[in-house]
Amino acid sequence: MISGSTITFPFMTGKLYLPAMVCLSLFSFNCRVQNVLEHEQVLSFKQAESIKNGVTRLMITGQCGHSALAIDRIETKTVNNSMSVRAYLSLVKNDGKSGTLNIDLEIPHDVNEVRFGKKEILIWKGQ
């Protein structure tokens, strides 16, 4: 609605203002910010090492402590002898994503430690 030289929208006033701002905030959060799941935010965080035929595997499991967020993707990066694991979060949608952490990593022979999250918490150390 145009009033003089000021443009106003119906959702900017009255009962629709707060819901509109919440939706806008959630949309902005989901599109512009990629939260990384940190170790202290994972419920029942567990890691289990297995070695078979000379190949070391690390299984990382747990549950995201954010009820409104799901694990969107997992990224690993290896620098020198250290592998870092990051789980990126997004808003829960009906697209098959959930807050369940279930990562199966093959650890390269030259890697002797695995770290988790942006804080890079040490979760596994090789021999």
3-state secondary structure 95-127: CCCCCEEEEEEEECCCCCEEEECCCCEEEEECC
Residues 105 and 120 in one domain: yes
- Residue 115 — φ and ψ, nearest 5°? -120, 155
Residues 100 and 43 in one domain: yes
Residues 28 and 45 in one domain: no
* More confident call, 29 vs 87: 87
Confidence of residue 46 (pLDDT cuts 50, 70, 90): very high
Domain that holds residue 14: 2-32
Residues 15 and 56 in one domain: no
Give the helix ranges, DSSP H, for the chain: 17-32
Residues 118 and 83 in one domain: yes
Residues 18 and 51 in one domain: no
Q: How many domains does the chain have?
A: 2
The predicted pLDDT at position 112 comes to 95
